[in-house]
Structure 1
Amino acid sequence: MTAIELSILDWIQTARCGFLDAVMPIITTLGDSGIIWILLTLVLLCIPRYRRTGLTMACALALDVVCCNLLLKPLVARVRPFDANPLVELIVGRPTDWSFPSGHTAASFASTAALYASGEPLWIPAAVLSVLIAFSRLYLYVHYPTDVLAGLVLGTVLGVLGRKLFLFLERKVGRKAS
């Protein structure tokens, strides 16, 4: 499977050009440590009308950190594609954590799914950005396609679960406040 995935990454490398070499590192940086999604969550939390959506996103991102970064990455311990193919020239710094699943992709799709599950139309531009971030991880040769696919699926599930967790906690807190 790794050989097939490396061939897909090598095929993507044939699209390398100055424009994408400049843009893809910027796009991927938006997903570093989930920063764009954390900032969006904080903004939503500050606006009373969107506070519930912000709390849903916070739940989704918390689930993502636990599942992706604390459990799956160390459990699977998959080496990065640039370690498997050291001939590739990286145009970003070498990530030091494990490859599977893609944390950038998981956080992006957890946020997008949380927005969707909350009924917010903001999920549409979030989905576009999520796809761009996911593709950037492949273009930059820092994730295998299955890392990104797993991040997409895991993030989507965690976004929906984040909404369910928020609603559960809201009911629990509401009962105690009564």
Structure 2
Amino acid sequence: MTAADTRAMCWLLAQPRAASRARMARAISRFGDGPFYAALVAMLWLVDPEDGTRFALAAAVAYGLEVPAFMVLKNLIKRPRPADSEMALCAFIKPAGRFSFPSGHTAAAFVMATLLGIFYPVVATLALAFALLVGLSRVLLGVHYPSDIAAGALLGTSCAMIGSLFV
């Protein structure tokens, strides 16, 4: 798995426009931070008190599962970041943690996308596209391998599905 991931990373980061893509990826990745999701949950709660409250409760349960799960997995698996690998791939940002598997940004994005799809199906496609872009941005920034993104997507979707059962 790591060999295939490394080949994909080398190919992506060796492209002539890698640095210009990284600037766009950095902006997308910032939306994958927690404050955006908290603001979105608050807005939905204010605009749609009934479903927004259920959405907020499901999000609290889902993130309550996702955050500890990704932290435990990172510290259990201890997969080095691409820039820390023997290939010394270039990272365009300094990541918050030492380990890469799974991607926490991607997991969080898929929690939100899955819950939006469940509670507000009209925005499901847009939410999924956003989550995929967050994951891709982490690869383009050189801080995650493609399989980190896949694992984060699976983790986030699973936690959202469980969270939706509690409301």
Q: What's the TM-score once normalised by structure 1's chain length?
A: 0.82
Kept after mapping to 2: 8 A contact 1:57/1:162: yes
Kept after mapping to 2: 8 A contact 1:57/1:115: no
Asked whether 1:7 is paired with 2:7, we answer yes
Deviation at 1:131, TM superposition (A): 0.7
Kept after mapping to 2: 8 A contact 1:27/1:133: yes
Deviation at 1:8, TM superposition (A): 0.6
d(CA) in 2 for partners of 1:85, 1:95: 20
d(CA) in 1 for partners of 2:117, 2:101: 25
Q: Which residue of 2 aligns with 1:110?
A: 111
**Pairing 1:69-148 to 2, within 5 Å after superposition:** 69=71, 71-85=72-86, 87-148=88-149
d(CA) in 2 for partners of 1:141, 1:125: 25
Kept after mapping to 1: 8 A contact 2:82/2:91: no
Which range is displaced more, 39-48 or 98-107? 39-48
d(CA) in 2 for partners of 1:108, 1:6: 24
d(CA) in 2 for partners of 1:96, 1:46: 34
Percentage identity across aligned positions? 31
How many residue pairs are counted as aligned between the two chains?
164
Letter in 1 for 2:39: L
Deviation at 1:54, TM superposition (A): 2.4
Deviation at 1:16, TM superposition (A): 4.9
Letter in 2 for 1:152: A
Q: Which residue of 1 aligns with 2:46?
A: 46
d(CA) in 2 for partners of 1:16, 1:130: 25
Structure with larger Rg? 1
Kept after mapping to 2: 8 A contact 1:41/1:55: no
Deviation at 1:65, TM superposition (A): 0.9
Q: Tell me, which stretches of 5 or more residues in structure 1 are unaligned? A: 168-178
d(CA) in 1 for partners of 2:67, 2:16: 31
Residues 94/111 of structure 1: CA separation in 2 closer, same or farther (3 Å cut): closer
d(CA) in 2 for partners of 1:85, 1:41: 41
Deviations 1:40-84 (A, max 9, x none): 112222331422222222222221112112x21212121111100
Q: Which residue of 2 aligns with 1:173?
A: none
Letter in 1 for 2:43: V
d(CA) in 2 for partners of 1:52, 1:16: 46
d(CA) in 2 for partners of 1:21, 1:78: 22
3-state DSSP of counterpart to 2:165: helix
3-state DSSP of counterpart to 1:74: helix
Q: Which residue of 2 aligns with 1:58?
A: 60
d(CA) in 2 for partners of 1:68, 1:127: 20
Asked whether 1:27 is paired with 2:22, we answer no
Q: What's the TM-score once normalised by structure 2's chain length?
A: 0.87
